[in-house]
Structure 1
Amino acid sequence: MSIDPCPTLIAAARQFYQMGWMIGTAGNLSARISDNNFWITGSGCPKNQLTADDFVLMTLNSDKGEFNSTPTQSDSQKRPSAETSIHAAIYSLFPDTQVCYHVHSIENNLVTRFTKSDALPLPPLEMIKGLGIWEENPQVTMPIFTNHSEVSRIASEIYTRFKDTKPQVPALLIRDHGVTVWADSLERASNYLEVVEYIFRYMIASQKVGMEIS
């Protein structure tokens, strides 16, 4: 990514905060600037008040099929997001990925309770096209991962599962926690997030009125 992504990430964070998806300091956004470097929001930063100083530049370290990342700025006063390892896993798995967004909403928490399995069936809505699925009456699921207190364990499980089996859509859920989307551009990442949150709202609404969504 040749341009500085931080102004766009700041604007996105404010938008998501206003929508109730990044309340307080919750959530994290990142953007890759080279094969091995990405900016990510710092830990404990209110998402409606971000500035350029609230980002930490990370170096992606991939060796022997493993992944991790370390802060590039040795003098940085900010700690990277506690969920940086999840972003590192996504960037390691999908080389075309330039952006990774993770937010918490009431809806994306609730839908993880609709199933006890490790994948959530999505309704075959027209909006699915917004995630790159153009089939008629598609049968699509979104992966769900356990919300371990040790975030690196979540990241390892994401890496292990996706290394063997790529997901149908560029999104995953962490049970009772949040959704993560990734894309090859800042604009597309925002679009993906809006689409999945729309789908989650539809699923919640359909449950309220007793509709069949599969």
Structure 2
Amino acid sequence: MRFEQLTTEQKQKAFYELREVKELFASRGWFPGTSGNLSVRAGDFSPEQFHFAITASGKDKTVHTPEDYLFVDQDGKPSEATSLKPSAETLIHCEIYRLTGAGAIFHIHTVFNSVISEYFWDRKSVPVDGVELIKGLNIWEEEAQIDIPIVSNFASIPAIVPEITDRLQAGIPGILLRKHGIYAWGANAFEAKRHIEAFEFLFEYVYRLELLKR
């Protein structure tokens, strides 16, 4: 779909959903130091051509301004003339959209997701065994066991993308960057929000359980 084909309603809906999620996550302290980024896809999807609204780079996500978001295309380039810069990690969003066909992708930095990614770095995944909140990821098997993948965190974002391509797991709607944060996605903003909340609960659970084992 070409950007010109998106309706005003579709564009406004994407911005509204980003604003709602940004406000909620900011209230939880999930955007320290302007970190994190959020995106919502608009219109029809094809891996070759799509557009999504994403948070602009360097903005204080605890406040609302008219310049909080912009639209970019499947290559992470602005879809229309703008002075705003997309998030530095836009290429990661592009790849996740391309691989999953998701409708929304949210990325946050928390102490728990950063610490747990380093703690389990040697095995390249966070093991979670039988915790109820696994169901929040649409995994309904009784006593399900999952491994949440962890990938390297490089200063050069393009260097991260191939590892994400290789490590994405079918049925696990999220991936951790080492000592960085979680990317979670879903068919829409509501589902992506549910997934990121479930991941954060699971990370804290695993962290605290590991402490009890000592």
TM-score, normalised on structure 1? 0.87
Give 1:26-41 correspondences, 5 Å limit: 26-34=35-43, 35=45, 36-41=50-55
Question: 1:18-29 alignment to 2 at 5 Å?
Answer: 18-29=27-38
Structure-2 separation of matches of 1:105 and 1:202:
14
Alignment RMSD (CA, Å): 1.7
TM-score norm. by structure 2 comes to 0.87
Contact 1:43-1:82 within 8 A present in 2 as well: yes
Deviation at 1:52, TM superposition (A): 4.2
Answer with 178-187 or 48-57: which moved more: 48-57
Q: How many residues align?
A: 199
Query: Could you tell me which of 13, 16, 30 is aligned with 1:4?
Result: 13
**Separation in 1 of the partners of 2:125 and 2:59?**
31
- The answer to whether structure 1 residue 145 and structure 2 residue 151 are counterparts is yes
Select 1:79's aligned residue among 79, 85, 103: 85
| Alpha-carbon distance in 1 for matches of 2:68, 2:27 | 19
Q: How big is the shift at 1:161?
A: 3.6
Which residue number corresponds to residue 49 of structure 1?
63
Q: Structure 1 residue aligned with 2:24, among 10, 15, 37?
A: 15
Partner amino acid for 2:63?
Q
Indicate if the aligned counterparts of 1:142 and 1:168 stay in contact, CA closer than 8 A: no
Given that residues 149 and 167 in structure 2 are in contact (C-alpha distance below 8 angstroms), is that contact kept between their aligned partners in structure 1?
Answer: no
1:70 aligned residue: 77
Render the CA deviation track for 1:137-177: whole Å, top value 9, x for unaligned.
21210110000110111122212444xxx333101100000
In the alignment, structure 1 residue 189 sits paired with structure 2 residue 192: yes
Matched, 1:102 2:107: yes
Q: Aligned equivalents of 2:130 and 2:153: distance in 1?
A: 27
Looking at structure 2, the residues matched to 100 and 205 of structure 1 have their Cα atoms a distance apart, in angstroms, of 27
* Structure 2 residue ranges without an equivalent (≥5): 1-8
Gapped runs of 5+ residues in structure 1?
A: 61-67
